[in-house]
């Protein structure tokens, strides 16, 4: 179940990070934090499941 939750979190955050409208509306600091979180979640997934 954790795998599916982790994938869902990655998918949702990725949608936000790659949305041009949100990228323009949010402060750069917020976008950097979200990208860093997405990187961390992706690395966690790879280290556990690949």
Provide DSSP, 1-50.
Answer: -HHHHHHHHHHHHHHHHT-HHHHHHS-HHHHHHHHHHHHHHHHHHHHHH-
Contacts of 35 (CB under 8 A, 6+ apart): 17
Residue 27 has which token pair? 């402060």
- pTM for this entry: 0.87
Query: Running DSSP on this structure, what letter comes out for residue 50?
Result: -
Q: What is the pLDDT confidence band of residue 33, given thresholds at 50, 70 and 90?
A: very high
Give residue 22's pLDDT band: very low, low, confident or very high (50, 70, 90).
confident
Domain spans of the chain? 13-49
Q: Look over the chain and give the mean of its residue pLDDT values, rounded to a whole number.
A: 94
The pair of structure tokens assigned to 18 is: 């790659």
């Amino acid at each position: 179940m954790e795998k599916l939750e982790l994938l869902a979190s990655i998918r949702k955050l990725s949608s936000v990070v790659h949305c041009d409208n949100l990228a323009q509306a949010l402060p750069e600091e917020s976008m950097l934090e979200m990208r860093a979180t997405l990187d961390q979640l992706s690395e966690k997934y790879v280290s556990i499941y690949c």
